[in-house]
Each structure stands twice: as structure tokens, then as C-alpha cells.
Amino acid sequence: MATDVTMPQLGESVTEGTITRWLKKPGDRVAKYEPLCEVATDKVNAEVPSTISGTLLEIVAEEGATVEVGQLICRIEEEGGAASPQPVDQGRESSPSASASAGQETPSMKRRYSPAVLRLAQEHGIDLERIEGTGKGGRITRKDVLQYIEGRKAASPASPRGDESPAAAEKKPAVPEIQLPAAGTSAKREGISVSLEEGDQEVPVSSVRRTIAQRMVTSKHEAPHAWTMVEADVTGLVQLRERLKNDFKEREGISLTYLPFFIKAVVDSLKEFPYLNSVWAGDRIILKKRINISIAVATDDALYVPVIHDADEKSIGGLAKAIHRLAEKTRSGKLTLEDMQGGTFTVNNTGSFGSILSQPIINYPQAAILSVESIVKRPVIKDSMIAIRDMVHLCLSLDHRILDGLMAGRFLQRVKERVEAYGPDTQI
């Protein structure tokens, strides 16, 4: 008897996953709990295990396909079943009749293109909107594109256009990787109509980017943002780090950055101002007991926000190690669900990009987010004299339902006092 394997929910807010690699092929034997494929979501990369022991009959969702939670990805013949393995060609999709027999309503998959389909369309200059998909939910399969190409060849002359010589046709440059829309046309996606001009490029939105967009919109709509900033003199911190960084690198094998110093000042201040470490819950405010600091880690195509759990229990050196570990896991695609959950306050190191002033969006449903800007040398007045000092802006965005300016200002002032207090005798 064949058993359907569906896309599992890989997190409380995860609604879909993209299959990055199949670890088994049709006809392979699989043991219960043995990994079948690798899946990427906006939060983590994970393996989908087999729910039974048997033989992989059919792969329904090919590599590169984005599949919603609960949708079919493959079928397995249970050990001892009568059916025989039926390998399928790469790119085969479940038919509409198969979906109907499963008794499930299939959402539209029309514009969810696999890499194989996109590649064929780009190579042959095909507008995928012209193709009727036969895959699940109307999805366009590789076979649909090949049939369209064959039909187009049959309807057009085999020789080059009359105004092109065969030699010119051979030298004609390849179609760009991203197909360009015709000038004067318009594109409508999710109810938004945009005019397209010559040279414009349409880039499909990845599942990670779509999730980031949804969360940022939710945060701005749900939380009334307020913003405030202070300037801190961190000359002592700069001198302290300069003195310690080489020994720390030699001893620990990682770089000692400025970020753990700022996070330490933040977590110590959160103990004094617990409302900054809270969430809005409609008819009440929940003050979180644990202080879990979310940090922003950028990759080439997305921004992830892993969490340092119980950050208030760590030293500056311990925070440096935790930051390094999470950054390495993020960039190698090895973050786990635990790494992404439970954040209560966010510290964003925008200064690493050279920014000197920013207004961050709150990591909803947290109460606030702090951006640490770039440290720059500037002339300032100190003890009635002009001096060159290392200065930094600390920018705080806050949820005005939870926090008023007075409490936020006092919190930010304590963070400022703590970072300005770093000096030669500071222990890390």
C-alpha cells in the first residue's frame, strides 16, 4: 500500500518549504525516520524523514519546488506491500486526477516555477504566462514547456529570419538569464500593477524574502513605532578592544568585535527596565523572565535573526563566542528551530555596514530594537576643551503601546552610561 508523504511544518510560523535536494530516488529502499530530502524555509534548513519503512515509489515535488505545509511531496510503498516501484522522470508532477482522488483542494500553483522550468523558458525566450500547466494546481511542468517548444517549432520556419544570415544567427547572443519584459507592458502581481519599460527585469520573490516582507509589514501595521537616539563616547571601549583583540583571537580562535560589549550593556540595562523585555498580548503586557537577544545576520540574499538565549548569564567573551557560532551557522545554512525562537529584544549591528544613523523596524512582537551604528572619530568638547573622541549613535525603535518616551529614554541613557564606562580595567 502506497503512503503519501507531505511537507511537515518545520516551525510554528512556517507555512511552506523549498525542496533543495532529494537524498533518495524512486526505487530506493528507505528505513523509517531515514532522511528523504532537504528542505529550506525562511527560518531553517532541515531534513524530512520517512514516516515508514519501504520503497520510494514516486517523487511528486521536484528539487527547487516550493511546497506548502501538508502538500504531497512523494509516495512510499510500505514494506510488504504489493505494488512495485515506479520510477518517474525528473520533473514529473502529480496529476490533477491524483490530487482529486486524495480528496484535497489544491491551491493554485500556476506561478510556482521549478528551476528546470525557468531555465528552459529563459533559454528559449518563452513567456510562461502563455503555457497551460498540467501539474498539480495548474503548475507548469518541464514536460509542458518542452511540448510548447515543439509546438512553436512546428508552427515556425526552420531557417533563420529573412533579415538574418545563418552566420549572424549563430553568433546571436544567448538569451539573458532573466527574461526581459516587452516595453510598454505592465505586470500585475498580488493586486499591484506596475508599468514595465524597456530594460526592466522581473526577479521572482524567494520564500525567504516574501516572509521577511510579510513580517515587516505586520510589524509596521501592528506596532505604533516611536524612535529615539543618543550619542555615546566609546573611546575607552575602542582602547580596551584594541588592547585585548590579539590575545583573544590567539586564545579563542575568533575575532573580538564591538558587538558583544554593546549587547552586555543592553542585557544589564534590560534587568533594570523589564518593560523593554516584553511583548504586547492584546489585553495585557507580558514581561519576559528570560533575556534572549536576537541579532541580525545578513547573507547574500536574506537577513536572519538568530537568538542568543539567556544572554544575561554570559560574559562579554561568552557573548562573543555565541555571536560567532550563530553567524557561522547562519552563513552555512545550519540554523535550527531552537536557534531562531524565543527572542525577547533585538540588537542590530548596522555599524558594520558603515551606517551612522538608522531607524530599525521592531522585530514583532518584541517591544523594542536597538541599532548600534558605526564608531567614528570626531572632534567634541570634553572638559571645556576640543578633543578627538570615538563616538557612536545608539538608535532605539519602540512599540508605543508598551513603552513611553520616558522609560525608553531612561533605558537608553543607562545603555549609554554602561558603554561609556568601559575602560582598561574592564573584565571580559
DSSP track, 86-154? ----TT----HHHHHHTT-PPPP-TT---HHHHHHHHHHT--GGGSPP-SGGGPPPHHHHHHHHHHHHH
Read off the pTM.
0.61
Q: Given this model, what pLDDT does residue 81 score?
A: 55
- Strand spans (E) along 281-375: 285-287, 293-295, 297-298, 303-304, 307-308, 345-348, 368-372
111, 133 Cβ separation under 8 angstroms = no
Closest listed residue to residue 420, CA positions, set 231, 227, 243, 228? 231
Catalytic residue selected from 42, 383, 404, 425: 404
Closest listed residue to residue 94, CA positions, set 146, 59, 57? 59
202, 178 Cβ separation under 8 angstroms = yes
Amino acid at 246: N
Enumerate residue ranges in the chain where pLDDT < 50: 82-108, 158-180
Amino acid at 140: I
346, 370 Cβ separation under 8 angstroms = yes
Tell me yes or no: is domain 210-420 CATH 3.40.50.2300: no
Q: Given this model, what pLDDT does residue 185 score?
A: 55
In this structure, the dihedral spanned by the alpha carbons of residues 10, 11, 16 and 22, taken in order and rounded to 10 degrees, is -20
| Set of cell numbers at residue 329 | 551557522
Architecture of the domain made up of 2-88: Beta Barrel (2.40)
Q: Is 390 known to be catalytic?
A: no
Query: 411: helix, coil or strand?
Result: helix
Domains of the chain: which residue ranges? 2-88, 210-420
Q: Given this model, what pLDDT does residue 267 score?
A: 97
For the chain, what is the largest distance between any 2 Cα atoms, rounded to a whole number of angstroms? 91
Residue 281's CB is within 10 A of a number of other CB atoms, namely 9
Q: Is 404 known to be catalytic?
A: yes
How far CA 125 is from CA of 85, 118, 134, 150, 169, in Å, comes to 37, 10, 20, 14, 15
Q: Given this model, what pLDDT does residue 95 score?
A: 42
Q: Given this model, what pLDDT does residue 190 score?
A: 55
5, 50 Cβ separation under 8 angstroms = yes
Burial 60-91 (b: 16+ CB within 10 A, else e): bbbbbbbbeeebbbbbbbbeeeeeeeeeeeeb
Residue 264 makes CB contacts below 8 A (sequence gap 6+) with 315, 316, 319, 418
Query: 58: helix, coil or strand?
Result: strand
Q: Given this model, what pLDDT does residue 158 score?
A: 47
Closest listed residue to residue 341, CA positions, set 370, 317, 363? 363
> Is 94 exposed, middle or buried (CB count within 10 Å of its CB: 0-12, 13-18, 19+)?
buried
Q: Given this model, what pLDDT does residue 332 score?
A: 85
Catalytic residue selected from 124, 225, 324, 400: 400
| Set of cell numbers at residue 65 | 519546488
| CA pair distance 211, 43, nearest whole angstrom | 9
Query: 288: helix, coil or strand?
Result: coil
DSSP state of 276: G
For the chain, how far is it from start to end, CA to CA, in angstroms?
61
